[in-house]
Structure 1
Amino acid sequence: MKLIKFGLAISLFVFSCLSLYCTTPSPGETTQPSVYSVKVDDTVTEGTARHIQRGIYLAERDQAEAVLILLNTPGGLVSATLDILQAMSSSNVPIITYVSPQGAIAASAGTFILINGHIAAMSPATTCGAAMPVTMASPGESPQAADQKTINFLAGHMKSIAGGRGRPADLAEKFVTENLALNNNEALEAGVVDINAADPADLLQKIDGMAVKTNAGDRRLATAGARITELPLNVNEQLIHLVSNPTFAMILLMIGIYGLIIGFYSPGFLLPEIAGSISLVLGLAGMGLFRGNLAAVFLILLGAGLLVAEFFTSTYGVLGVGGLVSIVLGIMFFPTEPLMPPAWFSAFKLLALGVGVVGALLMSTIIMGVSRIRRHKPVHGEDEFHNTAAYVVKELNPGGMVRLKGEMWQAVSKNGHTIGEGKKVKVLERQGLVLFVSPDINNNGTDAAKEEN
């Protein structure tokens, strides 16, 4: 028995060795390198930052050769950009920034990300730069340069990033201070980027063998023929990307405010209240993910309060107009994101005006409806049955009973006259559950069975 167990153990040992030998690559055999790819083809938001952070984490975990960030963005949020730069600087895996495809741009916030790559590259017919911070101007005017303090801070940060990556710091500083823009050939000649490449595959072939210095130390790239693994935005990142976009956040906020107002004046339908509440929460959450003007928040709240007050008063639009003006101005001046592109600020002004137009239509509709209701006489109360015909079913002497609209009511003859059964009377007023009536002057002894009410 012992001999059998010994023989079985020897067999298992030999089988394990053979399996290990067969699965171990030979000295001349190499595995295909992997590169993780992340696309930034829209406004840089908090969702973009989390997307890039996840890509770097997965690349480090899976020991990928590099992370490739494909850039095509006009700019974005300052806080999100700084988070991205910090994640790139602390990465243990090489970061390759690449303006792609042909015709793409890496402006404003995109230039900061481009410069901070261990290797920076551009496709033909692409552009980088134009990173001067801007701010919202008065209605009718173009966006203006931000205050000098903001410009100096971002210019110094751009200069520091470029110097840390061995790129011309003084030239990089001009992206912020002078709004300098360079095409791919100019950027390559100036040393802002390291290489021009037609596509990602061409880029990986050209940078193969280049040495870079990461947070974990020096590393030589082996990217020739590497497998590119694309990392799309997951559901959480997509949601954060949407709500942290100032434009979408403001749309959600106004849907929330208008939805609650509609629900308040048409209770029982529930859909406006539910949709408005969800939109309001998402809008407020998004507003917390980008920089804003506190005074503009108070303008929006004041406007919402004036809209609500309008429907409790008979000002016929005075408070409502003031509320809409307050909301439009609040939306217009809320975002204070200096790295958003100038064209975005112009589009955001149109959004604010659109919110005002929609609000004006909504307010007009509600005010017209309220006015019609106010013109109608009350259908309940002391005057509910005023001048309505009724028929005596129990002699009024002076009290008795009448039939009114199929219901039996106590009634009293107003002048004390006796009115016989079946006679037609006119209701003068109602006090509680008692009707005060008088004989109908057209009373011809009409039978109560012919009552028409």
Structure 2
Amino acid sequence: MVMLCFGFFLKMVIAAPIVVIPLAGAIGPASADFVGRGIARADKDGAQLVVLRIDTPGGLDLSMRQIIQTILASPVPVVGFVAPSGARAASAGTYILYASHVAAMAPGTNLGAASPVRIGMPDPMTPERPQKPGDASGPDHQASAPSAPDLKSDTQSTLTRKQMHDAAAYIRGLAQLRGRNAEWAERAVREAVSLSADEALAQKVIDLTARDVPELLIKLNGRKVATANGEHVLHTAGAKLVTLEPDWRNKFLTTITDPSIAVILMMVGIYGLIFEFSNPGFVLPGVVGAICLLLAAFALQMLPVNYAGLALILLGAGFITAEAFLPSFGVIGIGGIIAFAFGMLILIDTDLPGFGIPLSLIAVLSGVTALFIFFVSGIVLKARRRPVVSGQEALLGSAGLMLSTLQPDVADGEGWARVHSEQWRVRSTVPLQQGQPVRVIARNGLVLMVVPIIEQGK
């Protein structure tokens, strides 16, 4: 009976599923949300293991740290697996691999180049790696400039050094936590070095190599892993694999947090509101504009935004609004285009791959803005050239028809005429007969001064 119960318990352990979470592309807010919800779901479903399949060029520091915090607090063991062949775990991916309970790589993959990217405009005089001859040797230092040792202390800013030291200490702490090669981890940060899968295994940067997930699970079978809630013994042989795919929420978040999409949403929102304010009552442009502007604000607050760039974009929006309401023959509008272009150039405050705004998109949006300005200015100028159709100005020069006889030498010297389908009291310096056409030359309150059209030769 005891053996049967033990066999049943062992069967249930072996049958526990294994969740595979793909982490591909640049790491951003959407990636952090996807991994966090994936690990939480694996824990809820009773999974015995999470395989984080990594293929990334790097990403945002904040999103990377969110993923690492999720892994460190996970009650379910997490295996970082750089796969398939040809994949990489560069920059932020290296940190995530070091944080995983088990680190594995497929043949033909690589990791490393974990130096923090400078914020803002790069300084071409700042060396990318330590250049002292005694630091390290090898191919990673052959391209060093001879003058680099003398320039480093003078050109590298305090902020850059702080970022470098912080990143090095962070990855060293992760390496010590998992018992991996801390010296190489620090070199990956300070010198941006990389390793192949076989080299990483030889230097104890990773725990094992495997061609694919099935082979990985065979090698993990029986392995002991310590997590936040204690030690686990993996029974992965023959376990069911469940691969999580991004749902609509993650796809939507991925889409709007793309800097290019966020900028387009912001522009559509600005144009929609300007059009609505210029033409009250259309409703649809205002509704669409407000929604797009709020979505853009949500996306931008999740991205590394340069507030000077955002201020320039808002200044450009203000100039375009001024051009729409106070036409200056394009002068203010051109200033708005220039502000937009420079604002979009510096809006995203990082040089990380996948988070820049392409110059082609900036050119297209600037061109669309120019067309919008000239379109609005053209409409306003055309409206200015139209003849006045209402008010006192519309009456002057209008033709009318006498409804009564007018004798200027009588007591009141007034008559009645029809002008613009309205009956008006009229006066004249000459006699007018009923049915005679007249033209308005002046207005005095509710009385019009008219002259006969015949006397003007018309």
Q: Same fold (TM over 0.5)?
A: yes
* Paired residues for 1:362-381 under 5 Å: 362-381=372-391
Give the Å deviation of 1:349. 4.3
Change (3 A) 1:252 1:216: same
**Distance between the aligned counterparts of 1:348 and 1:151, measured in 2?**
28
What SS is found at the alignment partner of 1:218? strand
Change (3 A) 1:26 1:70: closer
Q: Which of the numbers 419, 426, 432 marks the counterpart of 1:404?
A: 419
* Paired residues for 1:144-223 under 5 Å: 147-223=160-236
Give the aligned partner of residue 253 of structure 1.
266
Q: Assess if the C-alpha contact under 8 Å between 2:258 and 2:355 holds in 1.
A: no
Give the Å deviation of 1:135. 4.1
TM-score (norm 2): 0.82
Which segment drifts farther, 303-312 or 434-443?
A: 434-443
Give the aligned partner of residue 291 of structure 2.
278
Give the aligned partner of residue 54 of structure 1.
37
Deviations 1:290-313 (A, max 9, x none): 332333332222222222122233
Change (3 A) 1:152 1:436: farther
Give the Å deviation of 1:231. 2.4
Q: Assess if the C-alpha contact under 8 Å between 1:425 and 1:438 holds in 2.
A: yes
After TM superposition, what 4+ stretches of structure 1 lie above 6 angstroms from structure 2? 22-25, 143-146
Give the Å deviation of 1:109. 1.9
Q: Assess if the C-alpha contact under 8 Å between 1:409 and 1:435 holds in 2.
A: no
What SS is found at the alignment partner of 2:111? strand
What SS is found at the alignment partner of 2:297? helix
Q: Assess if the C-alpha contact under 8 Å between 1:255 and 1:279 holds in 2.
A: yes
Give the aligned partner of residue 265 of structure 1.
278
**Distance between the aligned counterparts of 1:121 and 1:370, measured in 2?**
65
**Distance between the aligned counterparts of 2:161 and 2:360, measured in 1?**
27
**Distance between the aligned counterparts of 2:293 and 2:66, measured in 1?**
26
Give the aligned partner of residue 73 of structure 1.
56
Give the Å deviation of 1:84. 0.9
Q: Is 1:86–2:69 an aligned residue pair?
A: yes
**Distance between the aligned counterparts of 2:69 and 2:300, measured in 1?**
23
Q: Assess if the C-alpha contact under 8 Å between 1:310 and 1:317 holds in 2.
A: yes
Q: Assess if the C-alpha contact under 8 Å between 1:383 and 1:429 holds in 2.
A: no
Q: Assess if the C-alpha contact under 8 Å between 1:244 and 1:290 holds in 2.
A: yes
Give the aligned partner of residue 301 of structure 2.
288
Unpaired runs of 5+ residues, structure 2, are 129-158, 408-412
**Distance between the aligned counterparts of 1:95 and 1:216, measured in 2?**
13
Letter in 2 for 1:388: S
TM-score (norm 1): 0.82
Q: Assess if the C-alpha contact under 8 Å between 2:109 and 2:196 holds in 1.
A: yes
**Alignment RMSD:** 3.1
Give the Å deviation of 1:23. 11
Letter in 1 for 2:238: G
Q: Is 1:96–2:111 an aligned residue pair?
A: no
Deviations 1:46-83 (A, max 9, x none): 23222222222222233311111122222222222111
Give the Å deviation of 1:226. 1.5
Q: Is 1:440–2:423 an aligned residue pair?
A: no
**Distance between the aligned counterparts of 1:24 and 1:128, measured in 2?**
42
Q: Assess if the C-alpha contact under 8 Å between 1:135 and 1:144 holds in 2.
A: no
Q: Assess if the C-alpha contact under 8 Å between 1:409 and 1:434 holds in 2.
A: no
**Distance between the aligned counterparts of 1:82 and 1:394, measured in 2?**
91
Q: Assess if the C-alpha contact under 8 Å between 1:106 and 1:128 holds in 2.
A: yes
**Distance between the aligned counterparts of 1:326 and 1:144, measured in 2?**
32
Give the aligned partner of residue 90 of structure 2.
107
**Distance between the aligned counterparts of 2:328 and 2:9, measured in 1?**
88
Which segment drifts farther, 95-104 or 278-287?
A: 95-104
Which segment drifts farther, 84-93 or 40-49?
A: 40-49
Q: Is 1:310–2:320 an aligned residue pair?
A: no
Change (3 A) 1:318 1:28: closer
Letter in 1 for 2:177: G
Letter in 2 for 1:387: G
Change (3 A) 1:400 1:132: farther
Count of residues in Structure 1 that have an aligned counterpart in Structure 2: 418
Q: Assess if the C-alpha contact under 8 Å between 1:91 and 1:214 holds in 2.
A: yes
Deviations 1:97-147 (A, max 9, x none): 1222332232222222122111122233333223323246659x9x99782
Give the Å deviation of 1:348. 4.1
Letter in 2 for 1:48: S
Q: Assess if the C-alpha contact under 8 Å between 1:92 and 1:216 holds in 2.
A: yes
Which segment drifts farther, 66-75 or 310-319?
A: 310-319
What SS is found at the alignment partner of 1:150? helix
Give the Å deviation of 1:279. 0.9
What SS is found at the alignment partner of 1:60? helix
Change (3 A) 1:92 1:396: same
Unpaired runs of 5+ residues, structure 1, are 1-21, 447-453
Change (3 A) 1:232 1:152: same
Q: Is 1:33–2:16 an aligned residue pair?
A: yes
Q: Assess if the C-alpha contact under 8 Å between 1:95 and 1:117 holds in 2.
A: yes
Q: Assess if the C-alpha contact under 8 Å between 1:137 and 1:144 holds in 2.
A: no
Give the aligned partner of residue 154 of structure 2.
none
Deviations 1:163-183 (A, max 9, x none): 222221221223322222333
Give the Å deviation of 1:95. 0.3
Give the Å deviation of 1:243. 3.4
